[in-house]
Structure 1
Amino acid sequence: MTQAIVLLHGWGLSSAVWAPLQAALDPSLNVRTLDLPGHGNADPAGPTLESWSDALLAQLPENSLLVGWSLGAQLALHLARHHPDRIARLALISATPRFVQADDWQAAMPADTLADFRRSFDLEPTSTQRRFIALQGLGDARRREVVNGLGRAATPPGEARKAALADGLGLLASIDLRSAVPQIRQPVRLLHGAGDTLMPVAAAEWLADTLPDGRLSIFADSGHAPFLSRPQDCASLIEGFARD
């Protein structure tokens, strides 16, 4: 059994987003939540994937089950590839190796759409963040519940956080982990909502096919945040995986 379960949230949110999942997990488990750099109560770490990874690595216990969602899942993949001694296994929710489309990668958001989000965030950060949160509720049978939960856990994009949140959007635009995925040797459990319109299921299917030890579970009637709309189902899968 892994020593700790560590939860990494997605862009624009905070570790508070995990509250429903934490409530559903067995309280005897050693569950920890981390804020991404510049999110929640965490200090900014700079604009690069390596700087964000290093900031998180400093807080990770050895032999962790790292649970990453969205941008947090990308960071988890990067950490597992480069620091396998610290991470025993991964559970990735709404994961993708690349967030934006390319000529050889269509299971993603159009690059122009994310570029528009970045421009809008520079001018109107609060309304842009709300629009991004609203997208994450699409395709979910409990859409209102999901959007409300995300909104309560959002990191306000005031002057103290705006630059770090903009750096996070920059990471979503630039990260491409496809070449690293075949080198990840830890067991990986993938959880994905069938109705996820922000990140197509095809991205998770590619990961399941390409990872040396990957397995995918798809949740019907769920969107980008199944741990909010189906916390008990997600908790059951994560608990079983942790105890393997």
Structure 2
Amino acid sequence: MHIKSIGQGPDLVLVHGWSMHSGVWSPLLELLSEHFRCHLVDLPGHGQSEWHEGDFELKRLLDNLSLALPQEAIWLGWSLGGMVALAMTHNYPEKVKKLILLASNPCFVQTDDWPCAMAAEVFNNFSASLAEDQQLTLQRFIMLQAKGANQPRQVIKQLSEQLAQQHEPEPEALKAGLKCLAEWDLRDTLASVNCPTQMILAENDHLIPVSLAEYVQKLQPKLRIDVMPGLGHAPFISQPQQCQLVIEQFIHE
């Protein structure tokens, strides 16, 4: 697994979301690397990480991350990356000093008792479109991430540029990532997490509804929740300085 480290200070692990790679953090990285030793993970089959069948099996993924990353660090995960970081707190609690879930849901697809997520029909249609035309589906996903942002064109431009800078993700890795989003249910993990945890939501996110705040607060009363107004699914691209401020306030509490 490819991991790039940059900056000086306390260890901070950053895990990107579905279909992207660690380069997506660049607007935020310029700010965070001044105060932290940032470890940028490319998930299997994304960016510069190779793909092998089964790499997204949760235990194997977490074991590989554990071997490659510092003994104790702050973990920051965006979207699918947030689910990975949350799962680390269960399998390797000694590894996670603090946890930051950025635009991430412990249960991504709606269930009867979890309405604050993506509708199953929408998710299934998206998965079907990936099998038909991967490139078009990735572009549609970029548009969806930018929707609701105060500067959607900027978000579309940056996400598109990042996607173009690396080889497209491995098709099997994309399918495996969607399977994770569909099947992982980490609500019990969030309820039992022991380290200080922050959830950052965006007011206009069309993938992770802001109504999630009410539900996760019941699961984990100690959770710190910050809502960023006027932003979509990638708030660290629209407003990197504002995002940095919210993150560092929590870290230094």
Question: Smaller-chain TM-score range?
Answer: over 0.9
Q: Percent identity?
A: 35
Q: Which 5+ residue runs of structure 1 have no aligned equivalent?
A: none
Q: Is the 8 A contact 1:78 1:177 kept in 2?
A: yes
> Following TM superposition, by how much is the alpha carbon of 1:70 offset from its aligned partner in structure 2, in angstroms?
0.1
Among 233, 240, 246, the residue aligned to 1:231: 240
Work out whether 1:9 is the aligned partner of 2:13: no
CA RMSD of aligned residues (A): 1.7
Residue aligned with 1:108, SS = coil
Q: Is the 8 A contact 1:35 1:42 kept in 2?
A: yes
Counterpart of 1:24 in structure 2 is 31
Counterpart of 1:174 in structure 2 is 183
Among 191, 207, 221, the residue aligned to 1:198: 207
Residues 1:205 and 1:19: Cα distance change in structure 2 (over 3 Å): farther
Work out whether 1:43 is the aligned partner of 2:50: yes
Q: Deviations over 1:41-63 (max 9, x none)?
A: 11225242223222322222122
Q: Is the 8 A contact 1:64 1:89 kept in 2?
A: yes
* Length, aligned pairs only: 241
Q: How does 1:28-107 map to 2 (within 5 A)?
A: 28-45=35-52, 46=54, 47-107=56-116
Q: Deviations over 1:46-83 (max 9, x none)?
A: 24222322232222212210000000000111011221
Q: Is the 8 A contact 1:6 1:34 kept in 2?
A: yes
Distance in 1 of aligned mates of 2:215 and 2:70 = 29
Q: Deviations over 1:117-148 (max 9, x none)?
A: 11111121010111111101111111111122
Per chain length, whose mean CA-contact separation is higher, i.e. which structure has more relative contact order (CA < 8 Å, sep 6+)?
A: 1
Among 115, 118, 138, the residue aligned to 2:124: 115
What is the letter of the counterpart of residue 163 of structure 1? Answer: E
Distance in 2 of aligned mates of 1:26 and 1:131 = 31
Normalising by the residue count of structure 1, what TM-score does the alignment of the two structures yield?
A: 0.93
Distance in 2 of aligned mates of 1:116 and 1:178 = 24
User: Bigger shift: 13-22 or 230-239?
Assistant: 230-239
Q: Deviations over 1:147-194 (max 9, x none)?
A: 221122226446xx1111111111111111112211110101111110
Residue aligned with 1:53, SS = helix
Residues 1:205 and 1:5: Cα distance change in structure 2 (over 3 Å): farther
What is the letter of the counterpart of residue 78 of structure 1? Answer: A
Normalising by the residue count of structure 2, what TM-score does the alignment of the two structures yield?
A: 0.89
> Following TM superposition, by how much is the alpha carbon of 1:3 offset from its aligned partner in structure 2, in angstroms?
3.1
Q: Which 5+ residue runs of structure 2 have no aligned equivalent?
A: 1-8
Among 134, 137, 153, the residue aligned to 1:144: 153
Distance in 2 of aligned mates of 1:129 and 1:123 = 12
Residue aligned with 2:116, SS = coil
Counterpart of 2:173 in structure 1 is 164
Distance in 1 of aligned mates of 2:33 and 2:217 = 27
Q: Deviations over 1:84-111 (max 9, x none)?
A: 1111011110011111111111111111
Q: Is the 8 A contact 2:10 2:35 kept in 1?
A: no
